[in-house]
Amino acid sequence: MNCRVKICGITNLEDAMMACNHGADALGFVFYEKSPRYVSPEMANSIVKQLPPFVTPVALFVDADSSLIESVVGANSRWMIQFHGNESESECRRYDRPYMKALRVQQGDNIVALVDQYPSATAMLLDAYKAGVPGGTGEVFDWSLIPADLSKPIVLAGGLTPENIKQAINQVAPYAVDVSGGVELSKGIKSEPRVQEFIRGAKSE
């Protein structure tokens, strides 16, 4: 398995550097103030300036104003965007940045059609649906709902852990995996052993 890994919900420099040292390919920063993993644009951009090369910082928004999005991504050309709300494709491509659109998967969704609504997306992130909770649920969804051969690279998210990551990758064969809660000591604080174990599990043969 040589699956790419995004560690999401980074709130401090120590966790960011730790995740990079263990081989994270991307780091997610949550700019949704209701999240316990919220990080300020100033803190996030201070962290991003200090990241080593070949790691993608991902700015995560939930139906945010364009002023907030521009204030974050305008400070550093490295940012990729993750739209995690009900953003339309035209809203997503407004920023001329590579972006992922998150879909919160429910039984009965036409995932092929939903993915095809975002032709300008670099990838699609498939996450668990939980009423009233936009993301970071810590819950898995039924991976068998994911059709084969979707038209975009798929980032699998939702309740992934060091314990289930190999099964998830074997079943779904995603382009990348994304985790927040499954590698934490507490909300917004990552566990180095769990981050290391998760990445090793995702990248081991």
Ligand X SMILES: O=C(O)c1ccccc1NCC(=O)[C@H](O)[C@H](O)COP(=O)(O)O
Q: Nearer Cβ to ligand X, position 28 or 162?
A: 28
Q: Which stretch binds ligand X (CB under 6 A): 29-37, 45-53, 87-95, 163-171?
A: 29-37
Shortest CB 12 distance to ligand X, Å = 15
**Catalytic pick from 15, 25, 127, 178?**
127
- Are the beta carbons of 58 and 37 closer than 8 angstroms? no
- Are the beta carbons of 67 and 97 closer than 8 angstroms? no
Rg (CA), the chain: 16
Q: Which of residues 118-177 bind ligand X (CB under 6 A)?
A: 127, 134-138, 157-160
Instruction: For 104-120, give one letter per residue: b (16+ CB within 10 A) or e.
Output: bbeeeeebeeebeebee
Q: Nearer Cβ to ligand X, position 98 or 138?
A: 138
- Are the beta carbons of 44 and 29 closer than 8 angstroms? yes
The two structure tokens encoding residue 193 = 């052993």
User: Helix, strand, coil % (nearest 5) of the chain?
Assistant: 30, 25, 45
Number of residues binding to ligand X, judged by CB under 6 A: 25
**Catalytic pick from 3, 8, 20, 92?**
8
The two structure tokens encoding residue 154 = 């798929």
Does 37 engage in binding with ligand X (CB under 6 A)?
yes
Interacting residue with ligand X among 3, 4, 5, 9 (CB under 6 A):
9
Interacting residue with ligand X among 32, 79, 141, 198 (CB under 6 A):
32
Told to judge if 178 belongs to the known catalytic residues of this protein, a careful annotator would answer no
Q: Which of residues 43-72 bind ligand X (CB under 6 A)?
A: 60, 62
d(CA 63, CA 80): 16
Shortest CB 138 distance to ligand X, Å = 4
- Are the beta carbons of 57 and 51 closer than 8 angstroms? yes
List residues with catalytic annotation: 8, 127
* Sites of contact with ligand X (CB under 6 A): 8-9, 28, 30, 32, 35, 37, 60, 62, 84, 127, 134-138, 157-160, 178-182
